[in-house]
Amino acid sequence: MSSTTAEADALELDERPLGRAIDAIFRADLHRRRGRVTDLIGLIIEATGLEAEIGEVCEVQVGRWATPVLAEVVGFRARRTLLMALGEMNGIGPGNAVTATGRALSAPVGDGLLGRVLDGLGSPIDDRGEVDSARLTPVVASPPDPLTRPRIQQRMGLGVRALDGLVPAGIGQRLGIFAGSGVGKSSLLGMIARSSTADVNVICLVGERGREVREFIERDLGSALAHSVVVVATSDQPSLVRIKAAQTATTIAEHFRDQGKDVMLMMDSVTRFAMAQREVGLAIGEPPATRGYTPSVFAVLPKLLERSGTSEKGSITGLYTVLVDGDDMNEPIADAVRSILDGHIVLTRELAHAGHYPAVDVLQSVSRLVGEVVTDDVRRAGMNVRSMLSAYHDKADLISIGAYERGTDPATDRAIDLKPHIDAFLRQELTEHDSVQDVDARLLELGNAGIVATPAMPVAAAPAPARTPMTPGESALPPLNITA
């Protein structure tokens, strides 16, 4: 090695630490923006003298040796900064120092997240150590530019016959699963996670019962955990943590999307995310609107849901469950989410009580991209099956009491004959899995069997018999036989 090369290498080695130090100095925030706690009312911490921005994370000192409590700036009032804690508020009191960190909340992203379980802030909770090769990314981001989103033309297999056949989803489509409590949403999500054709699953459990988290991971998710990331914020977590869980899961999904992968993002549920945002809004003084939901709820919903979909590199297929209040499919959150998404799947309690699993009511479920992702033959077969189910549903009361006479309606007759076969197609065990090709073949068989030929109209109808004119004073009604 020449002396010139050796001197250059030595100089480069000497300059590396110096360059890092200079870069750190330029990036450092040398102005310590510190305030003091003045009030704590409910969920809100009020501080004075703090220079911070909306969404900035601050550290609230709770003791000389205790770990500071992280809090986020959520608003301002009367020259005071309003913060909400990202953890327990025990130990916070008047006069405690509040220091702005100068950054927003960030979550770890990377391939090392596969198979891991994280909390709402992105920290591992599965006792497997820190995430390998992870980098921090802000959890709040803008959706892709609308004109850069490719059209959805390819089909995403969900592994559920009722959905793949009659409510098909495209790669990058966003569907809502609307259901009441205890109808089978979590089991359906686990079934899709095990059987979908997506490269990566990102599952977000917002406001879930603590008892059901491990149950969902071990029973419903099972072996699919190896290519999945689970983000959990249980119902006892602060409202801000529940909000951040949804944003963290979306950020992780965006990371894998930018790698060119097809990601399945499943969130259970958007309703609990909206409830958490309502708690924040009411705490900072927003006026309640419909059913107590504040205006900010309806502002943040599209910002969250629009982040999924197609992009120039990959795609995020979104499945968002909506916990309808009192089984009312038109309650405010359900109505708002339905208007944003590209279709909706309705699970009904009647089908669940009848032992029909999955309890998908295909007559109320719609995919707005069915014409884009399936062939015309499959689409027509699906419409024929829907027509038979509709004909049976219209005459269900008469059929159940035996008052319907065969021959009255050819479509209903065919629906009665094929109803057992349609039910067998729509029902599915948790361990069953059919490919998209098998589902299309069975659907074509059912749909073609349900075609009812329309009888030909007669060429000339016979003239109606002439009516004998009534004599004056004659009544059109028969005389009444009334005896004294």
- Going 330 to 331 to 334 to 339, the CA torsion angle's sign is positive
The rounded distance, in Å, linking the Cα atoms of 160 and 389 is: 19
The better pLDDT of the pair 26, 388 is held by 388
Q: How far is CA 411 from the centre of its chain?
A: 37
Tens digits of residue pLDDT in 171-200: 999 999 999 888 888 889 989 999 888 999
The rounded distance, in Å, linking the Cα atoms of 267 and 230 is: 10
The rounded distance, in Å, linking the Cα atoms of 352 and 183 is: 6
Please state, rounded to an integer, the average pLDDT across all residues of the chain.
Answer: 86
The rounded distance, in Å, linking the Cα atoms of 383 and 358 is: 20
What is residue 454's predicted lDDT score, i.e. its pLDDT?
41
DSSP state of 347: B
Q: Above pLDDT 90, what percent of the chain? A: 60
What is residue 402's predicted lDDT score, i.e. its pLDDT?
86
Q: Above pLDDT 70, what percent of the chain? A: 86
Are 176 and 271 a contacting pair, CB within 8 Å? no
Helical ranges in 376-428 per DSSP H: 376-394, 396-400, 410-426
Quickly state the pLDDT bin for 462 (edges 50, 70, 90).
very low
Asked if the model's pLDDT at residue 84 lies above 90, the reply is yes
The rounded distance, in Å, linking the Cα atoms of 142 and 403 is: 58
The rounded distance, in Å, linking the Cα atoms of 144 and 306 is: 8
Asked if the model's pLDDT at residue 484 lies above 50, the reply is no
Tens digits of residue pLDDT in 239-281: 999 999 999 999 999 999 999 999 999 999 899 999 999 999 9
Report, as an integer, the average pLDDT of 36-51. Answer: 92
Least confident of 30-44, 86-100, 167-181: 30-44
- Going 189 to 190 to 196 to 199, the CA torsion angle's sign is positive
Global confidence as pTM: 0.83
Tens digits of residue pLDDT in 412-435: 899 999 999 999 999 999 888 888
Q: In the structure encoding, which two tokens stand for residue 31, read together?
A: 């102005």
Cβ neighbors of 249 (< 8 A, separation 6 or more) are: 202, 203, 204, 229, 231, 265, 267
What is residue 42's predicted lDDT score, i.e. its pLDDT?
87
Quickly state the pLDDT bin for 130 (edges 50, 70, 90).
confident
Asked if the model's pLDDT at residue 452 lies above 60, the reply is no
What is residue 149's predicted lDDT score, i.e. its pLDDT?
93
What is residue 14's predicted lDDT score, i.e. its pLDDT?
47
The better pLDDT of the pair 29, 41 is held by 41
Cβ neighbors of 197 (< 8 A, separation 6 or more) are: 156, 157, 262, 436
Quickly state the pLDDT bin for 450 (edges 50, 70, 90).
low
What is residue 173's predicted lDDT score, i.e. its pLDDT?
95
Tens digits of residue pLDDT in 358-414: 999 999 999 999 989 999 999 999 999 999 999 999 988 888 888 888 888 888 899
Asked if the model's pLDDT at residue 478 lies above 80, the reply is no
What is residue 64's predicted lDDT score, i.e. its pLDDT?
74
